[in-house]
C-alpha cells in the first residue's frame, strides 16, 4: 500500500480538532509572463528553472521534480486527495510540474496559477511552524531564482487577491460538535468581515464533508506575514474554544447518553455496512473520530480515522486495490476497507465492551 | 430471569417465516349470562367452576388457576406480551382469572368476553396440532362443565362473530421480504374477501411492528373446524410461497449486496445503539432475523432473535431488570439488553468476519 503523506498520518497539536495546517506562498519569475499569459517556450523555461533548482533545496529535505504530464491520472489524483496539488493542476497537466519532498509535506506546484506555489502541510495546528518552513523553502529558491517583487506592493502574483505577501495560511478544522449543536454558522459565518474565508475540505467551491472546514486568510496586502499568521491564530483559538464548549455540552449528564447513542450507531454502521459512498463514509468517520476524541469509544486511534478519511477517497481506494474501479465497486470496496481497518485496529474495543 | 413461554423459545415448522400458531375456542356455561351481562355472583360462580375444573385438566398438563386480581400489574402485562391473555383481560382484572399450564403454551381466560377462552400456542406453523390440542382441553372441560351449545348454530358466544365453531385460528407471520419489496398489500390485502383477517402483533387494532402479521379466520358459522383450519392452511402456504419468492429476489446477484448492506447495518445498530425504542428494536430485530434466516449473517440463532422480540417489550424488560423503569431508562436498558445478548450469543460472527 502506498505510504500516506506524513501530515495525514501524524498527530499534531490540538489534533482532536485541527486536522492540519497549510501555508502557501505564491512566487513568479521576473520577466516571464504569468502562466496564463505565457507561451509554450516561456512555460518550458519556468519548468527548466524549476528542475534546475530542485537539487538546491536539499537543506530543506529530499526533493523530486516531476512533470505532471509524466504522471498517470491516478497518481495525480492521489496528490490532489493529499492536498499536495490543486484540482486544476491535475486536470490540465501540460507544462505543469510539481516538486515534492519525500515525506510529502512540502510541495511546489510549478506553472499553476503562478510560476511557483510553495506549500507546506503540517499535522494539527502549526501555523508558525508551517509558515517558517515555507519561508525557508522560499529562501532557498530565492538564492537561485529571481522573483518578481516590488518594494511597495510586495510579491507580484497572477491573481490580484494574492499580491503582497502572497501568503495563504489555512487551518483545517474538524467541527462535528458545533455542527451537531447547529452553531457552525454562528461561529464561522462572520469571518469574512475579518478578512478570513471558510471552505470545505478540498478548497474553493468544494462542499463540506465530514464536518471538515478550512479557514484561511483572504488579505495579502497591507499586512505583514506575521500579522496574517497572528490574526488567523487568534480566530483559530476562538473556534477551538467554541468547538470545545460544544463538546462539553454534548457530554453533559442529561445528554451524554444521546451523544453516545449517536456516535456508537455511526461506529456500528462503519463496522457493518457493505456499501459506503465517500460522502457517507466521511460523515460516519467524522462521528467516529469525535467518539474517540471524546473518550466515548475506547481504544480507538483518532489518527487511524484521519487516515481513513483520505484512504476512502476514489484515487486512494483504487491505489490500495491496485486497479481502476467502477463507482459501485468503489462503494463496496470502500465499505470493505473501512470494515477491515476497524476490525484490525480497534478489536480491543470489541473485547472491552 | 423469568422463563419465556415455551412457544416463544422453540423453533417450529417453517420457523424462518412463521413465528407461531394459535388456536382459540370460546365457551360459555349454560344458564349463566355472558360476562358482560353477568352480575357479581354469576361471575364468581364461573370463577368457582373454573377453579374446580383446573385439577381435572391434568391429562393435558400441569395447570394452575390464578385470579387476575391476585397478580400484580407487571405479572399481568407479562402474560399479555406472551399472548397468553388479552390486553382487556389485563386492564380490568376484577372477577377474571386465567388457567395456565406450566409450559405457558395453553391458557384459559376466565370471564373475558366469554366465560372460557381456551388458547393453545405453538411455535412455527402447527395449525392442526394447535387445534387438536385445544380440542383436547375443551373435551376435558366438557367432561365437567355444561357449555351452551345449540345443535343448529353450534357454540353460543358473547360476540355474534364467534358463534358456531367459536374457533379462531391464527398464524403469526414474519414477512420482512414482502415488506421490503412493497408487496404486503398485494399479498395480504384481499384476504377479507376470503373470510380471513390480518392484524398486527398484538391483535385487533394493534400496529404492525417488526413485520409481524397475524392471519386469522373471521368466519365461525357455516363451516366446520376442519374446513376453517384447512382454509387458513391453504392461505398460509400461499403467503409462505410469496415471502420465499421475495427472499429469493432479494438474494439475486444484482441486489444481494444491497440486501447484505441493509441487514448488516441493522445488525450494527443493534450491536451499538445506546437508546432503543421498542418499535425501532422490533424493526431492527426483524432485519436481523431475516439476515440469519437468509444465511447472510452467520452463526446467528434466529430463535434468540425471536426471544428478544418479546424480551424487549416493556414488562419483560422490567422483569429482567427487576424493577419498574421510566420510559427513558427503558430505552437505555433495552439497548443494553440487546447489546449484551447479541455479544454473548453471536460472538462467533465477529470472529469469523
What ipTM does this complex have?
A: 0.88
Residue A328's pLDDT is what? 78
CA angle B339, B343, B349 (to 5 degrees): 125
Average pLDDT score over chain A: 91
pLDDT reading at A318 higher than 50: yes
Confidence class for position A36, pLDDT limits 50, 70, 90? very high
Residues recorded for chain B: 353
Q: How many helices and strands, by DSSP H and E, does chain A display?
A: 14, 10
Cα first-last separation, chain B: 31
Q: What is the pLDDT of residue A327?
A: 80
Asked if B273 lies within 8 A of A261 by C-beta distance, the reply is yes
pTM for this structure?
A: 0.90
Point out the residue among B257, B265, B273 whose CB comes nearest to the CB of A272. B265
pLDDT at A300: 83
Which set of grid coordinates corresponds to residue A87? Answer: 484540482
> The cell 499536495 sits on which residue?
A84
| Cβ contacts of B339 on chain A, cutoff 8 Å | 353
Check CB contact under 8 Å for A269 and B274. no
User: Which residue of B lies nearest to A262 if distances are taken between CA atoms?
Assistant: B273
pLDDT exceeds cutoff 70 at B202: no
Q: Identify which of B257, B268, B332 has the shortest CB distance to residue A257.
A: B332
Is residue A55 located within the same domain as residue A126? yes
> What backbone phi and psi angles, to 5 degrees, belong to B141?
-65, -45
B60 pLDDT more than 80: yes
Q: How far is B146 from chain A (nearest CA, A)?
A: 58
Helix (H) or strand (E) holding B322: none
**Does residue B351 have a pLDDT over 60?**
no
Q: Is residue A93 part of a domain?
A: yes
Compute the nearest-CA separation of B273 from chain A (Å). Answer: 5
pLDDT in the model for residue A122: 96
Q: Provide the shortest C-alpha distance from residue A261 to chain B (in Å).
A: 4
- Is residue B114 classed exposed, middle or buried when 0-12, 13-18 and 19+ CB atoms within 10 A define those classes? buried
Q: For chain A, how far is it from start to end, CA to CA, in angstroms?
A: 31
What pLDDT sits at residue B161?
A: 85
pLDDT band for position A76 (50/70/90)?
very high
Mutate to test the interface with B, among A250, A265, A298 (most CBs of B within 10 A): A265
Q: Is residue A1 part of a domain?
A: no
The pLDDT of residue B167: 95
Ranges of H-type helices in chain A: 6-9, 40-53, 73-81, 87-91, 127-142, 176-180, 184-188, 225-251, 253-272, 278-293, 302-311, 314-321, 327-345, 347-352
User: Which residues on chain A are in Cβ contact (under 8 Å) with B260?
Assistant: 274
The answer to whether residue B292 sits within a structural domain is yes
- Residue B130: pLDDT above 50? yes
Both A103 and A171 in one domain: the answer is yes
- Per-residue pLDDT at A30: 95
Nearest CA in chain A to B267: A272
- Own/partner long-range contacts of A282-285 (Cβ < 8 Å, ≥24 apart): A282/A201, A282/A209, A282/A210, A282/A212, A282/A309, A282/A312, A283/A209, A283/A210, A283/A211, A285/A210, A285/A309, A285/A312, A285/A338
- The sheet carrying B212-217 orders its strands as B63-67, B97-101, B106-110, B116-123, B18-27, B167-174, B212-217, B196-199
Give the pLDDT confidence score for residue A205 in this predicted structure: 56
- Both B37 and B75 in a single domain? yes
Same domain, A97 and A199: yes
d(CA A46, CA A146): 11
Q: Determine the 3-state secondary structure of A89 from DSSP.
A: helix
For residue B1, pLDDT beyond 80: no
Per-residue pLDDT, averaged over B192-201, amounts to 85
Which chain B positions have a beta carbon within 8 Å of A340's beta carbon?
A: none
Whether B46 and B146 share a structural domain: yes
CB contact under 8 A, A268 and B273: yes
Contacts of B261 in chain A (CB under 8 A): 273-275, 335
Same domain, A242 and A306: no
What cell does A58 get? 536539499
Per-residue pLDDT of A13-24, as tens digits, reads: 999 999 999 999
Q: Is the pLDDT of residue A83 over 60?
A: yes
User: Max alpha carbon distance in chain B (Å)?
Assistant: 68
- Residue B236 clears pLDDT 80, i.e. is over it: yes
Res A15: pLDDT: 93
Domain end marker among B246, B262, B296: B246
Chain A: residues touching B (Cβ < 8 Å): 257-258, 260-261, 264-265, 267-275, 332, 335, 339, 343, 350, 353
* Judgement on whether residues A31 and A129 belong to the same structural domain of the protein: yes
Closest residue to B261, CB basis, from A270, A271, A275: A275
In this structure, is residue B58 part of a structural domain? yes
Q: How do residues A165-207 score in pLDDT, each as one tens digit?
A: 999 999 999 999 999 999 998 999 888 888 999 987 655 556 6
A208 lies in the same domain as A276: no
Average pLDDT over residues B177-187: 93
The distance of Cα A191 from the centroid of its chain, to the nearest Å, equals: 20
pLDDT at position A351, please?
Answer: 46
Query: Closest chain A residue to B261 measured between Cα atoms?
Result: A274
pLDDT in tens, A247-270: 999 999 999 999 999 999 999 999
Helix B327-345 and helix B302-311, axial crossing angle in degrees, nearest 10: 170
In a domain, B1, yes or no: no
State the pLDDT at residue B288.
96
Residue B135 has pLDDT above 80, yes or no: yes
Rounded distance between C-alpha atoms, residue B267 and residue B184, angstroms: 23
Domain with B346, as residue range(s), is 252-352
Contact B265 A267 (CB under 8 A): no
Q: Please tell me which of the candidates A260, A261, A271 has its beta carbon nearest to residue B268.
A: A271
Nearest CB to A353; choose among B265, B335, B343: B343
Q: Mutate which of A256, A274, A336, A340 to test chain B, going by most B C-beta atoms within 10 A?
A: A274
Q: Residue A273 and residue B257: Cβ atoms within 8 Å?
A: no
**Helix A314-321 × helix A327-345 angle, to 10°:** 70
Task: Return the pLDDT at A53.
Answer: 97
Say whether pLDDT at B353 is over 50. no
Contact list, A261 vs chain B (CB under 8 Å) = 273-275, 335
> Given pLDDT bands bounded at 50, 70 and 90, which one contains residue B302?
confident
Q: Which of B246, B269, B289 is the last residue of a domain?
A: B246
Interface contact flag, B267 A269, Cβ < 8 Å: no
> What pLDDT is recorded for position B201?
63
Nearest Cα neighbor of A285 from A351, A240, A346, A215 is: A346
Q: Are residues A240 and A264 in the same domain?
A: no
- Among A212-226, B5-19, B33-47, B336-350, which is the least confidently predicted range? B336-350
* CA-based nearest distance B335→chain A, Å: 9
Long-range contacts of A311-316 (CB under 8 A, 24+ apart): A311/A4, A311/A337, A311/A341, A312/A276, A312/A278, A312/A281, A312/A282, A312/A285, A312/A337, A312/A338, A313/A81, A313/A278, A314/A77, A314/A81, A314/A278, A315/A74, A315/A77, A315/A78, A315/A80, A315/A81, A316/A2, A316/A78, A316/A81
C-beta of residue A125 within 8 angstroms of C-beta of residue A115: no
What is the average pLDDT across B182-208? 80
Residue B121: name the closest of B229, B216, B22 by CA: B22
If asked whether residues A228 and A333 sit together in one domain, one would say no
Is residue B276 within 8 A of residue B338, CB to CB? The reply is yes
* B83-110: average pLDDT: 94
Q: What are the beta bridge partners of residue A3? A: none
The count of structural domains within chain A is: 2
Interface size, chain A vs chain B, as Cβ–Cβ contacts under 8 Å = 54
More confident residue, B112 or B207: B112
CATH number of the domain at A25, please: 3.30.590.10
pLDDT at B296 over 90: yes
Nearest residue, CB atoms, B264 vs list A260, A272, A332:
A272
Asked if the model's pLDDT at residue B350 lies above 50, the reply is no
Residue A349: the pLDDT is: 45
Contact assignment for B274 to A264 by CB distance below 8 Å = yes
Provide the pLDDT for residue A155. Answer: 92
Last residue of a domain, one of B192, B227, B246: B246
- A129 and A230 in a single domain? The answer is yes
CB within 8 Å: B257 and A274: yes
Residues A29 and A147: beta-carbon distance below 8 Å: yes
Whether the Cβ atoms of residue A35 and residue A113 lie closer than 8 Å to each other: yes
Ramachandran area for residue A322 (φ above 0: left; ψ -120 to 50: alpha; else beta): left
Rounded Cα distance between A250 and B139, Å, is: 64
Inter-chain touch A274–B264, beta carbons under 8 Å: yes
How is residue A101 written as a grid cell?
519532498
Does the pLDDT value for residue A90 go beyond 60? yes
Q: Among all chains, which residue has been given the C-alpha cell 428478544?
A: B308
What is the predicted pLDDT for the residue at B203?
57
Q: How confident is the model at residue A242 (pLDDT cuts 50, 70, 90)?
A: very high
B307 and B181 inside one domain: no
**In the Cβ-directed half-sphere of A326, how many Cα atoms lie within 13 Å?**
1
Range in B138-147, B225-234, B315-324 the model is least confident about: B315-324
Assigned C-alpha cell, B273? 445503539
Between chains, do A273 and B265 touch, taking CB under 8 Å as contact?
yes
Which neighbouring-strand residues pair with A154?
A: A150
Pairwise CB contact (< 8 Å): A264 & B273: yes
Which pLDDT value is given to residue A206?
Answer: 60
Amino acid at each position: 500500500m502506498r505510504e500516506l503523506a506524513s501530515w495525514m498520518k501524524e498527530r499534531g497539536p490540538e489534533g482532536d480538532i485541527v486536522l492540519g495546517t497549510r501555508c502557501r506562498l505564491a512566487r513568479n519569475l521576473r520577466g516571464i509572463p504569468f502562466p496564463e499569459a505565457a507561451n509554450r517556450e516561456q512555460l518550458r523555461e519556468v519548468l527548466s528553472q524549476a528542475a534546475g533548482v530542485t537539487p538546491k533545496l536539499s537543506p530543506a529535505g529530499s526533493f523530486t521534480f516531476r512533470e505532471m504530464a509524466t504522471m498517470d491520472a491516478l497518481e495525480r489524483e492521489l496528490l490532489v486527495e493529499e492536498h499536495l496539488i490543486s484540482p486544476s493542476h491535475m486536470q490540465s497537466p501540460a507544462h505543469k510540474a510539481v516538486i515534492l519532498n519525500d515525506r510529502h509535506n512540502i510541495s511546489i506546484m510549478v506553472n499553476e496559477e503562478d510560476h511557483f506555489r510553495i506549500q507546506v502541510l503540517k499535522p494539527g495546528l502549526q501555523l508558525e511552524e508551517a509558515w517558517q518552513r515555507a519561508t525557508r523553502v522560499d529562501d532557498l529558491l530565492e538564492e537561485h531564482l529571481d522573483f518578481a517583487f516590488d518594494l511597495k506592493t510586495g510579491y507580484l502574483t497572477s491573481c490580484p487577491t494574492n499580491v503582497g505577501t502572497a501568503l495563504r495560511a489555512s487551518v483545517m478544522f474538524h467541527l462535528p460538535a458545533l455542527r451537531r449543536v447547529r452553531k457552525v454558522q454562528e461561529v464561522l459565518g462572520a469571518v469574512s468581515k475579518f478578512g478570513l474565508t471558510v471552505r470545505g475540505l478540498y478548497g474553493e467551491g468544494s462542499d463540506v464533508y465530514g464536518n471538515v472546514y478550512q479557514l484561511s486568510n483572504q488579505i495579502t496586502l497591507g499586512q505583514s506575514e506575521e500579522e496574517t499568521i497572528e490574526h488567523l491564530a487568534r480566530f483559530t483559538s476562538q473556534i477551538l474554544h467554541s468547538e470545545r464548549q460544544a463538546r462539553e455540552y454534548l457530554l453533559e449528564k442529561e445528554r451524554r447518553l444521546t451523544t453516545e447513542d449517536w456516535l456508537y450507531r455511526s461506529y456500528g454502521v462503519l463496522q457493518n455496512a457493505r456499501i459506503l459512498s465517500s460522502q457517507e463514509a466521511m460523515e460516519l468517520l467524522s462521528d467516529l473520530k469525535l467518539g474517540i476524541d471524546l473518550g466515548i469509544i475506547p481504544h480507538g486511534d483518532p489518527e487511524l480515522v484521519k487516515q481513513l478519511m483520505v484512504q476512502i477517497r476514489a484515487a486512494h481506494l483504487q491505489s490500495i486495490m491496485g486497479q481502476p474501479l467502477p463507482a459501485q465497486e468503489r462503494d463496496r470496496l470502500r465499505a470493505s476497507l473501512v470494515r477491515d481497518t476497524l476490525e484490525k485496529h480497534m478489536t480491543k474495543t470489541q473485547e472491552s465492551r
